[in-house]
Structure 1
Amino acid sequence: MGDDGIDYNIVFPEAVVSEKYWHGSKEPVVILLGWAGCKDRHLAKYSSIYTEQGCVTLRYTAPLKTVFISESFGYKELRSTAHKLLEILYDYEVENNPIFFHVFSNGGFMLYRYMVELLQTHTQFSSLCVMGTVVDSAPGNQNVRGALRALQTTLGPNVNVLLLYFLLSLFAVMVVLLRVVLYPMTKYFHKNHYDAMMDHPAMWSQVYLYSRADRVIRHRDVEKMVRALREKGISVESFDFITPAHVSLFRDCPEDYSNRCRTFLSSCMASMEGTSMKKRFSVQH
């Protein structure tokens, strides 16, 4: 926790565990961006995949109002949050460590979009070494029905029925009007997260984990993004878990999910070490 005006959690690994996996090298920093309505205790279960590997983990979930309201109205509140999260790396003096992202659903992907933009354009952050991203159950594109399901799940069963239907109706009208009907015009001053990342994607390695049974994020949206990134020459892997519900991949398939995350992390770190060795070799010769 810090005085940055955002509610985050950062965890450092035990020195013995870090030494076991990284042998005195700077351990990776994994930034986990939760889905809308995600509780930190849920995100902590995912971060344990990485802390057990000797990684530093930084957990954050954007507030509901910024995901469902601010972004829908075109107010880029999440960009300020993205800036603060990247500054935390400097506050804890881990800005020179390898960095990974683990992003959940559209709620996490919206925030990730702004972090990628800052890494691409902001002088202070251009030197950060991002090695890869794991994307879980995202991104979705102009899926009003999925967005309504996500909002209904987030609000929970204890909300008054009349209030629930009023909020869902209001949200549906707002999204259809601003993000579908008027989008051909509004995209010129506020492109949605899907199109923004399609046009200016992160160039580092990525893996997309999803399920065709997901009723919030359409699998074809994820697959379209994967194809587009591959066409741009970006190293992208994907895996369809087939049966789990939205952001339930880890819950339903814990061993397979964990192994895929760890394998991706190790692969990216090995690639970085190989590049460093080549650079040292070329300098010496």
Structure 2
Amino acid sequence: MEAPVRLFSRQFLTKSHHLPTPNRLNPHPFPHRFINPTKHPHLISTPKPIRVRSLFSPPGNYSPITPNPNPINFLLSLSSSHLSNPSPQNPDFTSQSNASSRLFAWHRAPDPAANEFSGLGGKPGPVVTVVLLGWLGAQRRHLRKYVEWYNGKGFHAVTFVVDPRELLCFDLGRRVEARVTELANELVSWVSGREDDGRERRLVFHTFSNTGWFAYGYILDIMQGREELLEKIAGCVFDSGGGGAFDPKVWAGGFSAALLKNRSSATLRSAEINNINGLDNQSGELGVKEKPQLFESLVLSALEKLFSVILKLSDVDQKLKKIFSILSTNQPPCPQLYLYSTADKVVPFQSIEMLIEGQRKMGRKVLSYNFRSSPHVDHYRTFPDTYLSVLHSFLKECFATVKQK
């Protein structure tokens, strides 16, 4: 848990695009100091400058929001302090070391020799690790069902997630880049070795939304020029990602969904409690239904304006173009699977289909499935049987290709 920080500098948005080098954040917030009003009346009565407060209100304390005519200033009045609350760690989901546990987590398959997708003529096939790169705001527990399915197939799994506060800060994602680099080094070290029985190792990437997609692209960038590593990537799955890379609306939609998800859940829980206690009335219904819509509209509008500025910064623009170029023109020669939906409100399905068509024109082996009605990164939960069936068929294709090499 880290100390709350201001999301963006006003000078950054209005005057200068030069970013200061961020100091390392204290891993624990400073304790609150309680002031006795009888001993320090001057401190209580003195007006204080407005500080950035919490983005989320706890259940039952839905405070009214005054619309700000300037959406950027409105966004600046929000805080990421509640985003820093870590989720409880599951003892079954452990990493190789204490240092790496803060960056990614390994989930070992109980019996990697039981991999049903590899092996030909009774000869043991490679040991496989699936790298699950989560959507923005995902937690490890959200990826648990994917991990359990892959482990059940004899695959190891590694999970990597990104908290929104890691991008909504002064360094514009440099901390995330450092984490992805650490993950890439770990994967390179693992896949370059062999099992004790001499079997080779392979990687499969399973990414979610554009956050996971870009993280995968960053890993590919690190592996560029090392064909022996790229050839060990057996397949790539892209769930709800691969479109709108330079569109401020897509970035705003992704961040808005990540930032407001917990608030919406808290509001719904508050409404359920009021209903149980007999407090559900017209006023309460308006508080639950109308205020969140107003709040979400204001946040989305502010984020769109914000990313219209950020995506034009030279440093950001160059990095995005470099990673997008790798993802669109320099993917490894392994099969690709795109899982998307016409109903996706975050990443436009048209842009994903354009990427699919471009990959096919380059001669890549590309499979795709349009779930039609499922929301963003919600295809597995909405259509679990179909999702796993498509994924199973794809993995068979991946390792049939591996066997022929």
Query: Which TM-score applies when normalising by structure 1?
Result: 0.81
- Quote the Cα distance in structure 1 between the aligned partners of 2:323 and 2:239: 15
Alignment pair present for 1:45 and 2:140: no
* Structure with the greater alpha carbon radius of gyration: 2
| Shift in Å, 1:116 | 1.2
Partner of 1:18: 113
Once residues 155 and 102 of structure 2 are traced to their aligned partners in structure 1, the CA distance between those partners, rounded to angstroms, is 22
More helix by share: 1
State the partner residue of 1:220: 350
For the 8 Å contact 1:18–1:54, the answer to whether it is kept is: yes
Q: State the shift of 1:135 in Å.
A: 0.3
Distance 1:243 1:210 in 2: 10
**Structure 1 residues 42 and 173: alpha-carbon distance in aligned structure 2, compared to 1, 3 A threshold:** same
Q: Deviations over 1:107-147 (max 9, x none)?
A: 11111110111122369x83661011000001121343343
Q: 1:213 to 1:25 in 2, by over 3 A?
A: same
Equivalences for residues 57-96 of structure 1 within 5 A? 57-67=157-167, 73=172, 75-89=173-187, 95=193, 96=200
Distance change >3 Å, CA 164–CA 5, structure 1 → 2:
farther
> Structure 2 CA distance, aligned partners of 1:256 and 1:166?
37
Instruction: Report whether the alignment pairs 1:99 with 2:165.
Output: no
Give me the whole-angstrom Cα distance separating, in 1, the residues matched to 2:320 and 2:142. 31
SS at the partner of 1:209? strand
Q: Say if 2:303 is the partner of 1:171.
A: yes
Q: CA deviation at 1:76?
A: 4.6
The Cα shift of 1:104 comes to: 0.1
Q: Is it true that 1:232 corresponds to 2:327 in the alignment? A: no
Residue ranges of structure 1 left out of the alignment (5+ in a row): 276-285
Q: For residues 399 and 295 of structure 2, what CA distance do their matches in structure 1 show?
A: 49
* TM-superposed deviation, 1:82: 2.4
Give the counterpart letter for 2:338 in structure 1: Y
Contact residue 33 and residue 60 of structure 1 kept, 8 A: yes
Contact in 1 for aligned 2:191/2:229 (Cα 8 Å):
no
Where do residues 250-265 of structure 1 align in structure 2 (5 Å cutoff)? 250-265=380-395
Shift of 1:251: 0.5
* Cα distance between partner residues in 1 of 2:385 and 2:129: 22
> How far apart are the structure 2 equivalents of 1:190 and 1:127?
21
Whole-Å separation in 2 of the counterparts to 1:201 and 1:247: 22
Rounded to whole Å, the distance in 1 between the matches of 2:298 and 2:372 is: 33
Pairing partner for 2:241 from 124, 129, 138: 138
Q: CA 1:67/1:236 → structure 2, altered by over 3 Å: closer, same or farther?
A: farther
Q: 1:149 to 1:222 in 2, by over 3 A?
A: same
Q: Could you tell me how far 1:175 is from its partner in structure 2? A: 1.0
Say if 1:198 and 1:77 are closer, same or farther in 2 by CA, change over 3 A. farther
Aligned-pair CA distance for 1:92: 5.7
Structure 2 CA distance for aligned equivalents of residues 202 and 76 of structure 1: 25
Equivalent residue number for residue 29 of structure 1: 129
Distance 2:224 2:344 in 1: 31
Which residue of structure 2 lines up, in the alignment, with residue 126 of structure 1? 229
Which of 151-160 and 210-219 deviates more? 151-160
2:339 maps to a residue whose letter is L
Q: Is 193-202 or 225-234 further displaced after alignment?
A: 193-202
Residues in 2 aligned to 1:87 and 1:194: alpha-carbon distance in whole angstroms:
21
Q: CA RMSD of the aligned region, Å?
A: 3.1
User: Match of 1:252, as an amino acid?
Assistant: T
Residue identity in the other structure for 1:131: A
Q: 1:273 to 1:185 in 2, by over 3 A?
A: closer
Structure 2: which amino acid aligns with 1:9?
Answer: A
The alignment partner of 1:61 has SS state of: strand
Note the C-alpha offset of 1:70: 7.2
Residue number in structure 2 paired with 1:273 = 403
Q: Is this contact kept in 2: 1:206–1:235, CA < 8 A?
A: yes
Using the alignment, how far apart are the partners of 1:227 and 1:257 within structure 2? Answer: 22
**Corresponding position of 2:251:** 147
Q: Does 1:200 align with 2:330?
A: yes
CA distance in 2, matches of 1:189, 1:28: 30
Displacement of 1:232 in angstroms is 1.2
Shift in Å at residue 90 of structure 1? 5.8
The verdict on how the C-alpha distance between 1:108 and 1:68 changes in structure 2, with shifts beyond 3 A counting, is farther
Distance in 1 separating the partners of 2:375 and 2:297: 23
Matched length: 269
**Corresponding residue of 1:283:** none
Q: Is 2:310 aligned against 1:210?
A: no
